[in-house]
C-alpha cells in the first residue's frame, strides 16, 4: 500500500497542536489524545501499544533504558534484599510498607484464607494427569468466580480488598495442587502457622508420609523469586486483567484471563521455554548455531529469556535471579550445574554479538529463573504457574486501582479497517 502522509488543514493543525500533555511523577510525559478523533476524525494506530499509555498508575515504574524497577517507589533490589513476599504484597495493595503491627495483622488475615472450598478441589479430577498446569490453573482460578461471585460487589473497596486477600492466600494451595494432581499424589493442606513461601513449598514438594523439613536458603530463594515476579506495569497479562475488569467482570475470572495470557512463550511461558531451549542446545559447542538461528529472519527461533519490550538494558530482576542461582546451586552443591554454566556461556556470547548489542537485547527475568526453579526440584512445566502465583498480587492490585480510578471507562479500542467495502448479498444461485 502506497505511503501516505497526513497534512492537516491549518485548523486541524491548530486543533491537534492543542492536545494537552500530561506529566507523570517519573518517566515520559504523554499526549492526551482522548479528543483527537472528535477534533480531527483520525484514530491513532499502535498495534502492540509500543507508544501508548493505556492508563495512569501509581503501583510500578520501569525505566527500561537504565534497568530500574520500582514497586510503589522502592527499588526492586532493596525489596528483594530487605522484605519478604507478603510485605511486598501489602506494599503493592496499600501503597506503603507495613509497620510491625500492620504486618502481623496482614499475615493473620492471609492465614485465615489459605484453605480452598473442598468442592474446588474436584475441578482437578476433570483434567488428564498430564494436562499442562497452566491449563488447569486457568480453569481452577476461573472457577473461584463461581464460589465468590454474589458476595463480591466490585464497586465496594472492602469487597475488592477481600477478593485480593482471598486470591493471595489461596494461590499457593491452588498452584501446589496443580503439581500434586499431575503426580498422582494427594493434595497437602496448608498450615496456617507457616510462612508464605514455606507453606507453598511444603504443599508443592512435601510428602504426606514424611515431615517436611524446610531448607531456609531454598525457602528464601523461592520467596525472592515471588518478589521479583510480583508486578511489572502494564505487561500483556496485566493489561488483559485490566481490560477484562473494565467491564465489571468478576475479579477471579479476570485473573484467569491474565493467567491465560501469561502462558504464552513470548511472556511468562518464556521461563519454561528457556529450560527447553538450553536442554536442546545441550553443549556450549552448539551455542553459535543457535545464536545464528536467533539472528536469522527466516527462522522463527528466538533466544528465549532474551529481549524485552521495555528493558533496553539489563533487566534488574535477571541480575537478582542470577545471584539467587549462585546461592541455590552453591547450597545444593550444584555449582557445576551444566545448565547454569551453559546459560552463562550463552549470555556471554550473545552480549558480545553485534545483533544483540545493536537491538539492546539483554537477559530478562525468565533467563535464569528456570534454572533456579529446576534446582529447587520444581518440574519445568510448573515454572509459569509459579510466575502466575507471584503475579497474582500485581494483577489484583492493578485491577483494584483501575476499578477505583474515577477515569475508569470500559476498554474498547478502535481499528484500521482494511476489509472489503460495503456490498450486497447475492442469492446463492448466483454466487
Q: Looking at 137-145, 305-313, 371-379, 412-420, which segment touches ligand SDX (CB under 6 A)?
A: 305-313
Neighbouring residues of 253: CB distance < 8 A, sequence distance ≥ 6 = 142, 145, 244
Q: Binding to ligand SDX (CB under 6 A): which residues in 202-241?
A: 232, 235
CB 259 within 8 A of CB 244: no
Least Cα distance to 391 among 237, 163, 180, 195 occurs for: 237
Burial level of 311, CB count in 10 A (0-12/13-18/19+)? buried
267 given a catalytic annotation? no
Active-site annotation holder among 84, 231, 315, 366: 366
Q: Which is nearer to ligand SDX, 203 or 225 (CB)?
A: 225
Q: How far is the CB of 162 from ligand SDX (least distance, A)?
A: 26
Q: Among residues 182, 239, 250, 364, which is the contact residue for ligand SDX, using CB under 6 A? A: 364
| Coil vs helix vs strand at 22 | strand
Q: Which is nearer to ligand SDX, 347 or 366 (CB)?
A: 366
CA angle at 85 for the pair 80 and 87, rounded to the nearest 5°: 95
303 is a site residue for ligand SDX (CB under 6 A):
yes
63 given a catalytic annotation? no
By CB under 6 A, the count of residues binding ligand SDX is 21
Neighbouring residues of 323: CB distance < 8 A, sequence distance ≥ 6 = none
Q: How far is the CB of 120 from ligand SDX (least distance, A)?
A: 27
Give the contact letters, 320-359, x = binds to ligand SDX (CB under 6 A), - = no.
---------------------------------------x
Residue nearest to ligand SDX (CB): 307
Residue carrying C-alpha cell 547454569:
340
CB atoms within 10 A of CB 149: 12
Length of the chain in terms of residues written: 431
Q: Among residues 192, 302, 312, 319, which is the contact residue for ligand SDX, using CB under 6 A? A: 302
CB 387 within 8 A of CB 339: no
CB atoms within 10 A of CB 355: 13
Q: Which is nearer to ligand SDX, 116 or 230 (CB)?
A: 230
Active-site annotation holder among 232, 308, 315, 400: 308
Q: How far is the CB of 366 from ligand SDX (least distance, A)?
A: 5
The number of helix segments (H) and strand segments (E) in the chain equals: 18, 5
Q: How far is the CB of 16 from ligand SDX (least distance, A)?
A: 27
Q: Which is nearer to ligand SDX, 93 or 365 (CB)?
A: 365
Q: Which is nearer to ligand SDX, 309 or 341 (CB)?
A: 309
Distance CA 380, CA 395 (A): 23
CB 362 within 8 A of CB 403: no
Q: How far is the CB of 72 from ligand SDX (least distance, A)?
A: 16
Q: Binding to ligand SDX (CB under 6 A): which residues in 281-300?
A: 294
Q: How far is the CB of 224 from ligand SDX (least distance, A)?
A: 15
366 is a site residue for ligand SDX (CB under 6 A):
yes
400 is a site residue for ligand SDX (CB under 6 A):
no
Residue carrying C-alpha cell 482522548:
34
Q: Which is nearer to ligand SDX, 172 or 307 (CB)?
A: 307
Q: Which is nearer to ligand SDX, 242 or 308 (CB)?
A: 308
Q: Among residues 90, 196, 263, 306, which is the contact residue for ligand SDX, using CB under 6 A? A: 306
Distance CA 394, CA 314 (A): 22
Reading the block at residue 216, the C-alpha cell is 531456609
CB atoms within 10 A of CB 82: 10
Give the contact letters, 255-274, x = binds to ligand SDX (CB under 6 A), - = no.
-----------xxx-x----
Helix intervals (H) in 210-250:
216-228, 236-245
277 is a site residue for ligand SDX (CB under 6 A):
no
CB 255 within 8 A of CB 167: yes
Q: Among residues 202, 242, 308, 322, which is the contact residue for ligand SDX, using CB under 6 A? A: 308
For helices 157-183 and 100-112, angle between their N-to-C axes, nearest 10 degrees: 60
CB 325 within 8 A of CB 365: no
Q: Among residues 69, 93, 205, 304, which is the contact residue for ligand SDX, using CB under 6 A? A: 304
Q: Which is nearer to ligand SDX, 143 or 390 (CB)?
A: 390
Residue carrying C-alpha cell 478523533:
37
**Between the CA of residue 127 and those of 59, 91, 131, 134, 188, what are the distances in Å?**
36, 36, 6, 12, 19
Task: Cite the active site residues.
Answer: 308, 366
Binding site for ligand SDX (CB under 6 A): 232, 235, 266-268, 270, 294, 302-310, 359, 361, 364-366
Amino acid at each position: 500500500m502506497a505511503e501516505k502522509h497526513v497534512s492537516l488543514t491549518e485548523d486541524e493543525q491548530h486543533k491537534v497542536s492543542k492536545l494537552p500533555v500530561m506529566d507523570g511523577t517519573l518517566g515520559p510525559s504523554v499526549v492526551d489524545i482522548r479528543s483527537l478523533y472528535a477534533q480531527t476524525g483520525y484514530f491513532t494506530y499502535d498495534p502492540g501499544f509500543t507508544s501508548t499509555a493505556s492508563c495512569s498508575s501509581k503501583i510500578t515504574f520501569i525505566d527500561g533504558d537504565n534497568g530500574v524497577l520500582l514497586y510503589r517507589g522502592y527499588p526492586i533490589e532493596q525489596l528483594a534484599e530487605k522484605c519478604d513476599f507478603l510485605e511486598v504484597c501489602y506494599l503493592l495493595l496499600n501503597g506503603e510498607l507495613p509497620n510491625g503491627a500492620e504486618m502481623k495483622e496482614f499475615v493473620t488475615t492471609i492465614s485465615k484464607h489459605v484453605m480452598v472450598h473442598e468442592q474446588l478441589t474436584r475441578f482437578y479430577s476433570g483434567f488428564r494427569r498430564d494436562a499442562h498446569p497452566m491449563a488447569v490453573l486457568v480453569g481452577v482460578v476461573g472457577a473461584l468466580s463461581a464460589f465468590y461471585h454474589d458476595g463480591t460487589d466490585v464497586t465496594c473497596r472492602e469487597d475488592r480488598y477481600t477478593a485480593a486477600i482471598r486470591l493471595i492466600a489461596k494461590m499457593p494451595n491452588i498452584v501446589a495442587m496443580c503439581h500434586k494432581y499431575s503426580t498422582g499424589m494427594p493434595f497437602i493442606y496448608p498450615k496456617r502457622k507457616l510462612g508464605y513461601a514455606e507453606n507453598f513449598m511444603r504443599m508443592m514438594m512435601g510428602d504426606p508420609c514424611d515431615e517436611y523439613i524446610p531448607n531456609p536458603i531454598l525457602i528464601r530463594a523461592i520467596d525472592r523469586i515471588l518478589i521479583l515476579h510480583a508486578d511489572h506495569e502494564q505487561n500483556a497479562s496485566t493489561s488483559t486483567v485490566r481490560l477484562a475488569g473494565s467491564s465489571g467482570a468478576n475479579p477471579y475470572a479476570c485473573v484467569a484471563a491474565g493467567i491465560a495470557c501469561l502462558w504464552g512463550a513470548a511472556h511468562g511461558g518464556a521461563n519454561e521455554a528457556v529450560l527447553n531451549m538450553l536442554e536442546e542446545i545441550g553443549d556450549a559447542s552448539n551455542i553459535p548455531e543457535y545464536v545464528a538461528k536467533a539472528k536469522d529472519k527466516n527462522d522463527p527461533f528466538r533466544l528465549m529469556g532474551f529481549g524485552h519490550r521495555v528493558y533496553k538494558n539489563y533487566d534488574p530482576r535477571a541480575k537478582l535471579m542470577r545471584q539467587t542461582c549462585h546461592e541455590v546451586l552453591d547450597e545444593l552443591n550444584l555449582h557445576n550445574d551444566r545448565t547454569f554454566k551453559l546459560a552463562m556461556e550463552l549470555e556471554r556470547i550473545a552480549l558480545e554479538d553485534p545483533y544483540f548489542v545493536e537491538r539492546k537485547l539483554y537477559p530478562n527475568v525468565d533467563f535464569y529463573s528456570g534454572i533456579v526453579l529446576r534446582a529447587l526440584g520444581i518440574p519445568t512445566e510448573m515454572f509459569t504457574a509459579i510466575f502466575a502465583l507471584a503475579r497474582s498480587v500485581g494483577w489484583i492490585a492493578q485491577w483494584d486501582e483501575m476499578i477505583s480510578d474515577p477515569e475508569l471507562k470500559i476498554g474498547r479500542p478502535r481499528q484500521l479497517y482494511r476489509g472489503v467495502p460495503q456490498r450486497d448479498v447475492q442469492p446463492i444461485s448466483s454466487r
